[in-house]
Amino acid sequence: MDVYQFTLLVFFGAVSAGLIGSLTGLGGGVIIIPLLTVLLGVDLHYAIGTALVSVIATSSGSAAAYVREGITNIRMGMFLEIATTIGAVLGTVIAAFAPANLVAILFGFVLIFNGLNSLRKKAEHVQITSSKAATWLKLPSSYPTKEGPVAYGIKNVGGGFSMMSVAGILSGLLGIGSGAFKVIAMDNIMKVPFKVSTTTSNFMMGVTATASAFVYLQRGYIEPGLCMPVVIGVLIGAMLGAKILVKSNPKKLRLFFSVVILLLAINMIYNGFNHKF
């Protein structure tokens, strides 16, 4: 295979990763890794570096729209980025020592967890009261709806902050956006409305990934020959996915891809235990 064919193959793989990522709500980064390693034989380190770069591209692209709409809670994002960036830098330290097989196994389990989590039903809840810490940090805010702005309170800042550190470590170690863990921290622990949680998670992803990307750039994880087709492909795929989602709610397609992702995850865990990475 020559470079031209390889680039084209990676490009179309990335388009489907972006598409599947936006249809399942898992994000493109988490799918590009099994695609590159399991299907194209790319080393896990390069796959992680490439995924991290694509996470920055997709999250910046979509965060731009949400921020302008005023749904994103910028103060909460900024404050919790302390936790995710510290976590991300720690993640790169762990990555330097952790054996690749172990990283692949952990990745497989995170992928399965994310897949199951995306099928869970989410209810929009708005609660008005806030904890003292949240008020002191000026975290409570409001978000626009058709019926006018809805004010919400925030609780358990410490718990959310801890969970965000975990999300940051996983992001730095595995090259993913770890949006699912960020949403759990805000939605389940801090009781932030779901819409605000998802958009703020997206907003934070770029900075979190940047904190580890600078380290990975210097260690040689980020290969231009892989990143170029992947970043462009994932962005196109994500845009196509968003268009499909507006037109229909592809439940069957979603379920089908969840099964595909589950199989890829099991494959990574199996290969990890057999020391194939």
- Distance of closest approach, residue 126 Cβ to other proteins, in angstroms: 20
- Distance of closest approach, residue 91 Cβ to other proteins, in angstroms: 10
Residue number, 126 or 232, with CB nearest to other proteins: 232
Cα–Cα nearest to 56, from 236, 209, 182: 209
- Distance of closest approach, residue 190 Cβ to other proteins, in angstroms: 16
CB-CB contact of 31 with 17 (8 Å): yes
Q: What is the torsion angle, in degrees rounded to the nearest 10, for the CA atoms of residue 163, residue 216, residue 258 and residue 164?
A: 10
- Distance of closest approach, residue 260 Cβ to other proteins, in angstroms: 23
Residue number, 68 or 251, with CB nearest to other proteins: 68
- Distance of closest approach, residue 219 Cβ to other proteins, in angstroms: 6
Residue number, 1 or 246, with CB nearest to other proteins: 1
Cα–Cα distance measured from residue 240 to residue 16, given in angstroms and rounded to the nearest whole number: 10
Residue given tokens 């900075």 in the structure block? 207
Residue number, 111 or 226, with CB nearest to other proteins: 226
For 225, residues 6+ apart whose C-beta sits below 8 A from its C-beta are 3, 7
Question: Which bin fits 221, alpha (ψ -120 to 50), beta or left (φ > 0)?
Answer: alpha
Q: Across 74-128, where does the E strand assignment appear?
A: none
Residue number, 4 or 128, with CB nearest to other proteins: 4
Residue number, 15 or 56, with CB nearest to other proteins: 56
Cα–Cα distance measured from residue 241 to residue 77, given in angstroms and rounded to the nearest whole number: 26
- Distance of closest approach, residue 139 Cβ to other proteins, in angstroms: 11
Residue number, 118 or 142, with CB nearest to other proteins: 142
Residues of this chain that interact with other proteins (CB under 8 A) are: 1-7, 41-46, 53, 56-57, 60-61, 63-65, 67-68, 70, 72, 74-75, 78-79, 81-82, 85-86, 88-90, 92-93, 96, 137-138, 206-207, 209-215, 217-229, 231-232, 235
- Distance of closest approach, residue 277 Cβ to other proteins, in angstroms: 10
Cα–Cα distance measured from residue 224 to residue 210, given in angstroms and rounded to the nearest whole number: 17
Residue given tokens 């590159």 in the structure block? 36
Annotate 125-194 with DSSP letters as a single string: -------HHHHHTT--EEE--TTS-EEE----HHHHHHHHHHHHHHHHHH----HHHHHIIIIIIS---H
